[in-house]
Structure 1
């Protein structure tokens, strides 16, 4: 390998690593995948990934050429469309269908690619997702409607945050504050007796870091200590900011508009739970930017995870049932990888969303601080811990029973 070829290879690997980090790839998957690509391209390598940095060490077989690089990066966000296309590009490169220069150019094209669903569809998806979550939590019809409306407001703040660094820094607390203030006003003037904390939680559920907590624990389980600890602490800080914003918003609303006396309203029948899972799946397609050819797989993954968990809970403890659901999801995701030759993350993220206890973490924090539950939830702290552990263990066992063919 001459020096010019080594330079081309290391430029491609560095760009590939930064892009995969930007798309929210966990550290243990990112490091393993980059190692595979580097090995295929004929260079030795070592990588260290954290939520805010990425270190590359590359050298040729006999150390004729060496390269070290450390990049300071912002925590990535899930973009399944770009992740899928980047993986296809790497496959084409390794199979000889593309040259390094062509692959490098296409990486730039993928990075500049907008969401395949556009802002209007994503705007509607936020409203649908928040409504579906409220339905899943047993809210009444009016509470579901208000959750959807305020979910649209959450998207406006998220869109504003992409254009303003100041808004991005305070996104979680200010969004929760506005939702709490608006819900208090609704409870005082438009719809007295609504469950204000539940509506506030539903309206900001997209920002609740349950998935990030699960990914952080999975990184810790894979002995990525630095990345896992950083991701868990970052997720906890996001959760604290959300709760403080909601607490301040509701308190300010009560001071301005008067206190709300909660009057329980009839929930939708049991079949609405399954409808809410379907609606949530549909909304996540746009929010996660899932490619059209993977939509059916993503919806099936959600129903596999939720259906197996609900079915298992009829015969065993809920926390053990979550382990079984996560195990089934892991097996299904790895089967998807073998059929579609795409990263398991593409479908596993859809299923994890209906399993991760991010909302329970928020509810537990509320119970700890205020001493009150706004939904029926006994032993919430123990349940959150056990569910997180069950999720991680289920995915690990699934990788042993049905090994994935891809690191991603």
Structure 2
């Protein structure tokens, strides 16, 4: 269940070994995104119990992750027996989300508009990106009912979003930046966070898991790019081209509104528990403020390093005081830092030979920022070691 709810492999292996030691079992674990191997034995006995399981990557669910971690803590402290813990895990797995379809749909709308706002776009871009975010969510709901749609969901939503954006530019609003609106509407699918987790696992010498996650993230980017490229080509063929009429960007202070809006949408998407909401929103502001301040006095890469260092220290402090996994807050902070969008932008730049919202060096920036984020997290764990393995 910890694997299902988004725990990185290197943290999960350590956590499982701590639990096995607490119930007086010797153990060895091999965790990857698609398989898990357990080896258990008792001290002084040579017989081993080995179990291998095929698993599928799950979705980030901070609420269920927190509750599952509480079960582990209760077992280690002898508050729950193993049988009681198993019953509790069944309850958690079958527990309905406190965020229904309406709330989740709102999170897609907010995420699209917030990202366009973070990119200092115009108000028109923000509004249209929000509307297309709703269109994307309709296809997500369709995918829950159709396996065929699920298998092609990422390129399909990118294609539909691009097609609609071209029609909007021709018939409704020639002032929208088509590419930026497309990117903002599908931002929830951009795997920037997955790339960071994969790099973190590689830095922890979990080579198989890290490589698999990085390749999976790149495949996601390729599918999104192909869908957007195809949708734009079809859209231009059907609707024709419109003459772009630029509008002034939103004022600087709106980026803070965008951070708050994006944070709210992420809390809904991650199903964050009510008692952790304040800390999750706070880290988003801290991450953006520290990275922006660092970029002001240093290079943009060092700004990301400073932001990641602060996020890492904040997460480790959170585990000490809240007795909950650091991932609950660090995931929120990292998404503000992760340049997943810049990776997507650079893909457009290099393949189509066309700038995507003034990002001439986006590819170089993405690599440098990813490395800076990784270094910041490593330094944070050295400066303030975590008390929990999660």
Q: Tell me the alpha carbon deviations over residues 278-301 of structure 1, each in whole angstroms, 9 at most, x when there is no partner.
A: 110011110010000000100111
Q: Which residue is 2:11 aligned to?
A: 29
Q: Which residue is 2:221 aligned to?
A: 239
Compute the displacement of 1:104 (Å): 0.2
Query: Structure 1 269/94 Cα, relative in aligned 2: closer, same or farther at 3 Å?
Result: same
Q: Which residue is 2:294 aligned to?
A: 312
Compute the displacement of 1:64 (Å): 5.7
Q: Tell me the alpha carbon deviations over residues 161-208 of structure 1, each in whole angstroms, 9 at most, x when there is no partner.
A: 233322221111001011011111111111123111100100000000
Q: Which residue is 2:34 aligned to?
A: 52
Deviation beyond 3 Å, 4+ runs, structure 1 = none
Quick check: 1:172–1:238 contact (8 Å CA) kept in 2? Answer: yes
Q: Tell me the alpha carbon deviations over residues 258-309 of structure 1, each in whole angstroms, 9 at most, x when there is no partner.
A: 0133222111100001110011001111001000000010011111111111
Quick check: 2:124–2:175 contact (8 Å CA) kept in 1? Answer: no
**Which among 332, 343, 354 is matched to residue 350 of structure 1?**
332
Cα distance between partner residues in 2 of 1:137 and 1:250: 21
Q: Which residue is 2:348 aligned to?
A: 366
Compute the displacement of 1:102 (Å): 0.7
Q: Tell me the alpha carbon deviations over residues 95-118 of structure 1, each in whole angstroms, 9 at most, x when there is no partner.
A: 111111110011011011122221
Cα distance between partner residues in 2 of 1:164 and 1:188: 32
Greater shift in the superposed pair: 160-169 or 94-103 = 160-169
Cα distance between partner residues in 1 of 2:20 and 2:143: 36
Cα distance between partner residues in 1 of 2:44 and 2:238: 72
5+ residue gaps, structure 1, are 1-18
Q: Secondary structure at the match of 1:57?
A: strand
**Which among 83, 94, 113 is matched to residue 95 of structure 2?**
113
Q: Secondary structure at the match of 1:62?
A: coil
Compute the displacement of 1:24 (Å): 1.4
Q: Tell me the alpha carbon deviations over residues 371-395 of structure 1, each in whole angstroms, 9 at most, x when there is no partner.
A: 1113122322211100000011100
Q: Which residue is 1:203 aligned to?
A: 185
Cα distance between partner residues in 2 of 1:62 and 1:158: 53
Q: Which residues in structure 2 correspond to 1:115-154 (within 5 Å)?
A: 115-154=97-136
Query: Structure 1 261/61 Cα, relative in aligned 2: closer, same or farther at 3 Å?
Result: farther
Cα distance between partner residues in 1 of 2:337 and 2:14: 26
Q: Secondary structure at the match of 1:191?
A: coil
> Root-mean-square deviation (CA), in Å?
1.1
Cα distance between partner residues in 1 of 2:360 and 2:305: 20
**Which among 162, 171, 181 is matched to residue 153 of structure 2?**
171
Cα distance between partner residues in 2 of 1:153 and 1:33: 40
Q: Tell me the alpha carbon deviations over residues 319-353 of structure 1, each in whole angstroms, 9 at most, x when there is no partner.
A: 11110110001001101110001000000000011
Cα distance between partner residues in 2 of 1:193 and 1:309: 31
Greater shift in the superposed pair: 59-68 or 224-233 = 59-68
- TM-score w.r.t. the length of structure 2 is 0.98
Quick check: 2:283–2:311 contact (8 Å CA) kept in 1? Answer: yes
Quick check: 1:161–1:168 contact (8 Å CA) kept in 2? Answer: yes
Q: Tell me the alpha carbon deviations over residues 84-134 of structure 1, each in whole angstroms, 9 at most, x when there is no partner.
A: 000011111111111111100110110111222211111101101110001
Compute the displacement of 1:65 (Å): 4.7
- TM-score w.r.t. the length of structure 1 is 0.94
Aligned pair count reads 390
Quick check: 2:179–2:357 contact (8 Å CA) kept in 1? Answer: no
Q: Which residues in structure 2 correspond to 1:243-258 (within 5 Å)?
A: 243-258=225-240
Cα distance between partner residues in 1 of 2:206 and 2:242: 46
Quick check: 2:162–2:231 contact (8 Å CA) kept in 1? Answer: yes
Q: Tell me the alpha carbon deviations over residues 25-70 of structure 1, each in whole angstroms, 9 at most, x when there is no partner.
A: 1111111111111111111111111111111111121236522111
5+ residue gaps, structure 2, are none
Cα distance between partner residues in 2 of 1:191 and 1:247: 21
Cα distance between partner residues in 2 of 1:285 and 1:352: 13
Quick check: 1:298–1:346 contact (8 Å CA) kept in 2? Answer: yes
Cα distance between partner residues in 1 of 2:145 and 2:32: 25
Quick check: 1:25–1:76 contact (8 Å CA) kept in 2? Answer: no
